[in-house]
Amino acid sequence: MTLHADLRVTRGAFRLGAELVVQPGEVVALLGPNGAGKSTALRALAGLLPLTGGHIRLGERMWDAPPDVFRPAERRPIGVVFQDYLLFAHLSALENVAFGLRARGVGRAAARAEAARWLDRVGLAAHAKARPRTLSGGQAQRVALARALATGPELLLLDEPLAALDAATRLHVRAELGRHLRDYPGHTLLVTHDPLDAMVLADRLVVLEHGEVVQEGPPTEVARRPRTDYVADLVGLNLYRGTGHGTAVSLDGGGTLTVAAPATGPVHVVFPPNAVSLHPEHPAGSPRNAWRVTVAGIEQHAHTTRVRLDGVPPVLADVTTATVADLRLRPGDELWAAVKATEAHAYPS
Amino acid sequence: MTTTRRRTGGRLPVALVVPAVVGLAFLLVPLVGLLVRAPWGTLPTRLLSPSVGEALRLSLVCASLATVVCLVLGVPLAWLLARGDVPGRGVLRALVTVPLVLPPVVGGVALLFVLGRRGLVGQYLDAWFGVSLPFTTAGVVLAEAFVAMPFLVISVEGALRAADPRYEEAAATLGASRWLAFRRVTLPSILPGVVAGTVLCWARALGEFGATITFAGNFPGETTTMPLAVYLALETDPDAAIVLSVVLLLVSVGVLAALRDRWISGPS
């Protein structure tokens, strides 16, 4: 079953008009700046906000089609992880996870047993009796995820699921969330303003600006060929999948990168285009990563020039207009790209 | 350098201190006087005397029943005012608080003309069910509930408005109907507000005088609650009036202490 959504919401001066199609097992990230309409889209899909036009349909079942059809949230097979989790403070972790099953008519004992299985799956079996306020941010996030998934929803909605976590916790929780999302057979929509979350977790990005979809595609595609300045600034990351062997990461698409912090197993390596420097000869000195590249394209953005470079691996570089002039950059030119190991970050995937 | 305490703001202004002390005395001296004049020696026997015991029992029963009525009707009303999508909510909210500022005797008169035997509603109650409310114990409960309910509604509505409605949305996404979300999520989260409102409501019902004597009259054992008994005893047996007053005073102080410890001065 495929989720088809033509989300049209008009509220005052704000208009949302976005089409989304999500396949089973697919993770789609809705990415955009604040006020772009991401939350409105999520609320409409959840049934917390009725559409003013368009429709939401899962397979043959219509969820929302104004003015005739509206299935409220409690009658949609959904699970939502809210930004601040919204765990019920007076219930234990186990009772929080069991809540949805109880609300959907599962018996008390069966609901608690199923909830206990989910807590075990997210590694919190020991915290079943804990009240939400005694849990750390990462633990609360995992309880929220277990609560959303326990009812076996067809559509999983994640609203900035990592935004409330500090940087160190985030790394770990992101990797774990990715693992659960890969196991989840239903449709997933992830709303975020963090490009890294989107690129690491999602199979496809949908970029929303001013209530409209401005670009969509696989993460690497969107990163390589941003269509708006916003996308270029935000998503224009160099992102590679690879396997870590200490500080060396051999990339799935060929090539090797040296990173600052040692990593083992499957990882993502990320660095921003402005961390890439271009040289006519093999650079001397500190850069640990230097490889031969060919200029494939040059795009002028608001304040910088973005250079697309083919090589092993291919890479994006943001350089100043002065550098473009110095190097007399033209498509087809052969150069050396260099990235300091300290600029390249490896994330477990 | 001396070791005496020094004030940073200079001397306290006499123009403020004098009226403040007078005001304090004005509030406290009558209560102290009541305690001084109380016949402590005979207090236990008087408390156990039939007339005092009867009034005390009737007061506790009626105030508690009135509180139950207020809870059953008032909590849903507070929910409607805080969460319901009803037109003219502001006006409704203002109307609900009218009994709060209305002289209770006016409330009693109003009840009498609506629920009395010839009243707007009362005539049908009498004709169809043979029920007559004025001058009965049920009338006492109604009069007390009428005066006390706004305390509960305002307290619960305030708690509801402070509670984050997104928790109800979270419950909805988990498959909970609005009724289930209210029972399992909202009500537990506003419990402190409900308890505070209940205590205030009960205390107000216990002290109710004007509406009760107007609507329910004064029949010992049936409608003579403590405040009525105090007023009547003042003419015939001043010591009994003092004893009853001391009991009411202690209940009031107890209510205040309970509210202060558990619910007023921040998280427990």
Give yes or no for residue B265 having a pLDDT over 60.
Answer: no
Nearest CA in chain A to B166: A86
Q: How confident is the model at residue B267 (pLDDT cuts 50, 70, 90)?
A: very low
Give pLDDT, residue B1.
Answer: 47
Give pLDDT, residue A39.
Answer: 92
Same domain, A110 and A246: no
Nearest CA in chain A to B176: A103
Give pLDDT, residue B268.
Answer: 37
B183-187 average pLDDT score: 94
- From chain B, pick out residues whose CB is under 8 angstroms from the CB of A44: none
CA distance A173 to chain B (A): 22
Give pLDDT, residue A344.
Answer: 86
Give yes or no for residue B163 having a pLDDT over 60.
Answer: yes
Number of domains in chain A: 2
> What is the interface pTM, i.e. ipTM, of the complex?
0.79
Query: What is the per-residue pLDDT across A221-278, written as a single tens digit (0 to 9) for each?
Result: 887 777 777 787 777 778 888 899 988 999 988 889 998 888 888 888 888 888 898 9
Give yes or no for residue A189 having a pLDDT over 60.
Answer: yes
Cβ-based contacts under 8 A for chains A and B: 61
Domain edge (last residue) among A209, A235, A261: A235
Query: What is the per-residue pLDDT across B12-66, written as a single tens digit (0 to 9) for each?
Result: 888 999 999 999 999 999 999 988 888 888 888 887 888 788 888 899 999 999 9
A94-98, A245-249, B142-146, B184-188, range with the lowest pLDDT: A245-249
Same domain, A30 and A43: yes
- From chain B, pick out residues whose CB is under 8 angstroms from the CB of A115: none
B172 to A78: CB separation less than 8 angstroms, yes or no? no
Whether residue A5 lies within 8 A of chain B, CB to CB, comes out as no
The CATH code of the domain that includes A258 is: 2.40.50.100
The amino acid sitting at B64 is: S
B167 to A82: CB separation less than 8 angstroms, yes or no? no
Same domain, A106 and A23: yes
Give pLDDT, residue A211.
Answer: 93
Domain edge (last residue) among A235, A254, A277: A235
B166 to A78: CB separation less than 8 angstroms, yes or no? no
Give pLDDT, residue A287.
Answer: 66
Mean pLDDT of chain B: 88
The 10 Å Cβ neighbour count of residue B44 is: 10
Same domain, A328 and A218: no
Query: What is the per-residue pLDDT across B65-74, written as a single tens digit (0 to 9) for each?
Result: 999 999 999 9
Whether residue A106 lies within 8 A of chain B, CB to CB, comes out as no
A180-189, A220-229, B121-130, B190-199, range with the lowest pLDDT: A220-229
Give pLDDT, residue B8.
Answer: 66
Assess contact for A64 and A51: CB atoms under 8 A.
yes
Partner-chain residue, chosen from A72, A100, A157, that has the shortest CB–CB distance to B174: A100
Q: How confident is the model at residue B6 (pLDDT cuts 50, 70, 90)?
A: low
Give yes or no for residue A124 having a pLDDT over 80.
Answer: yes
B215-242 average pLDDT score: 88
Same domain, A214 and A252: no
Domain edge (last residue) among A235, A266, A297: A235
Name all domains of chain B by residue range, CATH numbers in brackets: 45-264 (1.10.3720.10)
Same domain, A281 and A201: no
A135-147 average pLDDT score: 94
Same domain, A40 and A130: yes
A89 to B175: CB separation less than 8 angstroms, yes or no? no
List residues of B whose CB lies inside 8 A of any A CB.
164, 166-167, 169-177, 180, 184-185, 188-189
The C-alpha atoms of residue A32 and residue A269 are separated, in whole angstroms, by 22
Q: How confident is the model at residue B266 (pLDDT cuts 50, 70, 90)?
A: very low
Q: How confident is the model at residue B151 (pLDDT cuts 50, 70, 90)?
A: very high
Which range marks the domain in which residue A272 is found?
Answer: 238-348
Nearest CA in chain A to B175: A74
Highest mean pLDDT among A22-36, A273-287, B253-267: A22-36
Same domain, A227 and A259: no
Give yes or no for residue B7 having a pLDDT over 70.
Answer: no
Same domain, A181 and A254: no
- A134 in helix, strand or coil? helix
A88 to B167: CB separation less than 8 angstroms, yes or no? yes
Same domain, A123 and A176: yes
Same domain, A251 and A330: yes
Partner-chain residue, chosen from A73, A90, A103, that has the shortest CB–CB distance to B180: A103
Same domain, A318 and A215: no
CA distance B13 to chain A (A): 48
Mean pLDDT of chain A: 90
Residue by residue, DSSP assigns B175-218 as T--HHHHIIIIIHHHTHHHHHHHHHHHHHHHHT--HHHHHHT--
Give yes or no for residue B264 having a pLDDT over 70.
Answer: no
Give pLDDT, residue B143.
Answer: 95
- Nearest Cα neighbor of A221 from A242, A198, A244 is A198
Query: Which of B85, B164, B168, B173 to substitute to test the interface with A, most A CBs within 10 Å?
Result: B173
B173 to A88: CB separation less than 8 angstroms, yes or no? no
Q: What is the pTM of this model?
A: 0.78
A74 to B184: CB separation less than 8 angstroms, yes or no? no
CA distance A15 to chain B (A): 23
Residue by residue, DSSP assigns chain B as ---S---SS-SPPHHHHHHHHHHHHHHHHHHHHHHHHS-GGGHHHHHTSHHHHHHHHHHHHHHHHHHHHHHHHHHHHHHHHHH---TTHHHHHHHHTHHHHS-HHHHHHHHHHHHSTTSTTHHHIIIII----TTSHHHHHHHHHHHHHHHHHHHHHHHHHHS-THHHHHHHHTT--HHHHIIIIIHHHTHHHHHHHHHHHHHHHHT--HHHHHHT---TTTT--HHHHHHHHHHH-HHHHHHHHHHHHHHHHHHHHHHIIIIISS--
The CATH code of the domain that includes A59 is: 3.40.50.300
- Nearest Cα neighbor of A298 from A289, A310, A290 is A310
Give yes or no for residue A304 having a pLDDT over 90.
Answer: no
Question: Measuring CA to CA, how many Å separate A67 from each of A54, A55, A63, B49?
Answer: 10, 10, 12, 71
Using only C-alpha atoms, what is the Rg of chain B? 23
